[in-house]
Structure 1
Amino acid sequence: MNLLDATIVQVAAPVIHADLAGPASDIQWFGAAYTLPFAVLLITGGRLGDIAGRGRVFRAGVAGFVIASLVCALSGSAGMLIAARAVQGATAALIIPQTLGLIRAMFDGAELPRALGSIGPVMGLSAVCGPVLGGFLTHADLLGSSWRSVFLVNVPLGLAVLALAPLLREDRAAHPPRLDLPGTALATLGTGLLVYPLIEGDAAGWPAWTWIALAGGVAVLVAFWLQQRGRSRRGRAALVEPSLFGNRGFPAALVSSTLFFAVMNGVMLTVVLHAQLTRHADVLTSGLTLLPWSCGMAVSSWVSGACLFPRIGAKLMFGGLTALLAGTLLLIAAYAAEPAHPWAAGLALALGGLGLGMFTTPFFSTALERVRPHETGSAAGLLNAVQQLGGTLGIALLGTLFLRTGAASTALWAAAALLIANGLATAFMIGATVPRRRGRAGR
């Protein structure tokens, strides 16, 4: 449910906007309002599970997610929907961090790797099903629900999860950490000040307040970093372990993750907007347009994990970025040639999807390779957070470029530039891990 909701609404967003009215920037907020609180509250959600019990926090998160989904479905205005989406994202941040801990509490021995291994296919299935399911449910107009069924589908699923939740074994940290509420507030304020003007600035004509907000966002995030270092020096729990940044490769991994997921989410939104607003395709057709992208990612993820990554290693990420860049450039050419060669866009999206799977499979293991055991929780939480933040920024940036120009090519050229920058960050990340490997080989 959590992963589907990050993508399922993108296909339905233009239909929602047509029904509820409001400024065009609302199309971006329907997605960003979910991913932004999801990103900044993930680490705090994990700490709450350590303190109050992962099973208890998991159940509270699912209950909140179901209620927020119902409010989304019943929303009568864009503002109400955006607010409910923000609550959805916040409750998702309570759920996701508990899953690994609960699995570790319930399984051991040979069962544990099989249980953990089930997560990957579920994530891949979510990536494949999200856009297509969003298009299908909206087009089906079940009982006259139109786009509202995109949110209503969470209600029976969530109730089924709650019915099975008593089977979960309660688990909490032996030495629960303290919450860092000031750090959470600073991170939320800083990222909000960055994202809000990126989405609203173009429609407003980029007045002075947008630039003040952007500068303020940077200043608040600098204050957040100083606050985290101060807490760590005093021996108090911090959201982010500052020692992570002593490893040159980890900051590069954060930059690479942000850029990659900005491209992934931004290109998906661009394709949907082009299909519905430029080609005037219906919502089901626009959802099916993304099927080659999703299927390419699913196939590539499996092949990369089973065959390519064990042989090629971290350098496989360069192959993924190259395929994604080639797919993006081919998509620009395909859109320029429309309506001739209608198959070209599908081929471009399939190639891009193959690149997605080739990159994501080796990325997380490479990013965490030099992380020390006591830093693992903070590192994993931070990587997940910047993944969601990158997706939010991609929606804001590429969505704004499309809505401003009405041309998908403008947004896609920006995506190509982000991929080139991502290649540089990835090279730096991989380079930081090579000396250690060579050192091990020498020993």
Structure 2
Amino acid sequence: MTTESVAVATPCRGRWPGLAALLLGEAMNLLDATVVQVAAPAVHADLGGPVSDVQWFGAAYTLPFAVLLITGGRLGDIAGRRRMFVLGVTLFTAASAACALAPSPGPLIAFRAVQGAAAALIIPQTIGLIKAMFSGEETAKALGSIGPVMGLAAVCGPVVGGVLTHADLFGSSWRSAFLVNLPVAAVVLVLARNLPENRAPHRPALDWPGTTLAALGTGLLVYPLIGGDLRQLPLRDWLLLTAGALVLVGFARQQRRTARPLLEPSLFTHRGFPAALVTSTAFFAATNGLTVVVVLQLQLGAGTGVLAAGLSLLPWSAGLALASWWAGSRLVRRYGRRVMPYGLGVLLAGLLAAVAAYRATAPGHYPVALLPALALVGAGAGLFTPAFFTLALRPLRPHEVGSAAGLLNAVQQLGATLGVAVLGSVYLSGAGPSGPQAACWVAVVLMVVAGTASARIGTADGPC
């Protein structure tokens, strides 16, 4: 995906309202993911079905989001970024309304997948449109506003999910977690009139065979992991996992042979970029999977309400937002890549503290000691992520940055999907109170993998 672009409309006169539309669009997607994570057990209690549906309410969103992100970016290059942004918001709004009206788990999961596909149209357009609207120092200011807005959304998401579901406005219960998207999306669409139309100067190609293989392969890998007992998977699930791995091998071969690949081939000539992909997958698998485990344990194991579960995630969100701001504004510029292992160290300390908290809490009781552990996990994640994304993109050439950013976002969502599948299944298949402890240990292993891979990102200490 090229980073060059061309405006095809009159210059944008409402740059700041246009920027507000982009930031609200991004925040809406993050809020939707976190709100639904908190509300998912209440959804299951109302609609019934197997408990594994709680995992599917999240995975059905993140899986198409991950697979279609790069294709969504290229559609913006071809048809116009403003057009794809508006189309994505419109589709996301309609899918949100359909989710709120879903009569059973099956349709809800299907509409969640539509939401994920719509998000894949929205998110890739942001950077290109910001660069089309702003220049010079204003560009840096506009891009710099993304982090704080995402941090605020991360803080508000669990609380909003708990409050909306608990409030039961007009008898809507969990359905308000989806209905809240409608007024937000309406504001985004009004503000989006200030966005200029913008597309790439040279029409890139769409790699539909590659997109299909990637979607099929990842779907075959994720499906058997959700809701199954990972200690004794049946033969059918092993066959599905094997088929998924083979399809992804075929995808890799197809990418090497096609003249118009979905992925920029030169990205993999950089020594640290494949390591960055492994790091991102493992890191976001651990953090997103752990969020689901915490919510499930609080509502299904400790018997707390949805509001208490949402508020219990507040230390995590606050630690993430504050540490991310501190690392992004000061630490990364001063200490460079050394911030990454420090962040992972803090996060690992939080995971070990969570294991101790679960072990010390009697079955059916609220794990009070978990709250400071979650604050440590959030702080560690906040320290790690700004340094990671800065270093992962730093050695790339200008024409590679767009494709690399899209691929990093894609594997982030794929990692989130795998984390929900694996850690959620570990918790659900665990015997009694040992379930959350086992899930935390899996998260520890994933963080060790992330730390080992991240050691290959960048070669020099010092400022980034």
Q: Which of residues 197, 201, 205 is equivalent to 1:170?
A: 197
The answer to whether the aligner puts 1:420 opposite 2:443 as a matched pair is: no
Q: CA deviation at 1:201?
A: 3.4
Residue aligning to 1:43: 70
Residue aligning to 1:24: 51
- Opposite residue 168 of structure 1, the aligned amino acid is L
Q: Residues 7-30 of structure 1, C-alpha deviation per residue, up to 9 Å, x if partnerless? A: 211111111001111111100000
Tell me, what secondary structure is at the counterpart of 2:206? coil
Residue aligning to 2:274: 251
Distance in 2 between the 1:46 and 1:112 partners? 20
2:298–2:366: 8 Å Cα contact kept in structure 1? Answer: no
Distance in 2 between the 1:113 and 1:426 partners? 26
Q: Residues 57-104 of structure 1, C-alpha deviation per residue, up to 9 Å, x if partnerless? A: 111111000000000000000000000000000000000001111111
Q: 1:142 to 1:390 in 2, by over 3 A?
A: same
2:93–2:181: 8 Å Cα contact kept in structure 1? Answer: yes
Distance in 2 between the 1:305 and 1:242 partners? 30
1:190–1:216: 8 Å Cα contact kept in structure 2? Answer: yes
1:334–1:341: 8 Å Cα contact kept in structure 2? Answer: no
RMSD: 1.7
Tell me, what secondary structure is at the counterpart of 1:240? coil
The answer to whether the aligner puts 1:125 opposite 2:164 as a matched pair is: no
The answer to whether the aligner puts 1:300 opposite 2:323 as a matched pair is: yes
| Number of residue pairs aligned between Structure 1 and Structure 2 | 431
Residue aligning to 1:208: 235
Distance in 1 between the 2:280 and 2:246 partners? 22
Tell me, what secondary structure is at the counterpart of 2:199? coil
Distance in 2 between the 1:130 and 1:160 partners? 18
Q: 1:138 to 1:203 in 2, by over 3 A?
A: farther
Q: Which of residues 392, 395, 405 is equivalent to 1:380?
A: 405
2:304–2:366: 8 Å Cα contact kept in structure 1? Answer: no
Residue aligning to 2:255: 228
- Opposite residue 342 of structure 2, the aligned amino acid is G
Residue aligning to 1:75: 102
- Opposite residue 394 of structure 1, the aligned amino acid is G
Tell me, what secondary structure is at the counterpart of 1:104? helix
Alignment of 1:9-408 (within 5 A): 9-202=36-229, 206-231=233-258, 236-338=259-361, 343-405=368-430, 406=432, 407-408=435-436
Residue aligning to 2:11: none
Q: CA deviation at 1:341?
A: 9.9
Distance in 1 between the 2:366 and 2:152 partners? 29
Tell me, what secondary structure is at the counterpart of 2:198? coil
Q: Which runs of 4+ in 1 moved over 4 A?
A: 339-343
For normalisation by structure 2, the TM-score amounts to 0.90
Tell me, what secondary structure is at the counterpart of 2:229? helix
Distance in 2 between the 1:389 and 1:341 partners? 31
1:45–1:97: 8 Å Cα contact kept in structure 2? Answer: yes
1:25–1:203: 8 Å Cα contact kept in structure 2? Answer: no
Structure 2 residues not aligned, in runs of 5+ = 1-27
Higher helix share: 1
Q: CA deviation at 1:343?
A: 4.2
Structure 1 residues not aligned, in runs of 5+ = 439-443
The answer to whether the aligner puts 1:7 opposite 2:30 as a matched pair is: no
For normalisation by structure 1, the TM-score amounts to 0.94
Q: CA deviation at 1:428?
A: 2.1
- Opposite residue 425 of structure 1, the aligned amino acid is A
- Opposite residue 337 of structure 2, the aligned amino acid is A
1:105–1:171: 8 Å Cα contact kept in structure 2? Answer: yes
Residue aligning to 1:441: none
Q: CA deviation at 1:350?
A: 0.7
2:65–2:413: 8 Å Cα contact kept in structure 1? Answer: yes
Of 325-334 and 238-247, deviating more is 238-247
Q: CA deviation at 1:292?
A: 0.4
- Opposite residue 397 of structure 1, the aligned amino acid is V
Q: 1:319 to 1:56 in 2, by over 3 A?
A: same
Q: CA deviation at 1:200?
A: 4.0
Identity of aligned residues (%): 62
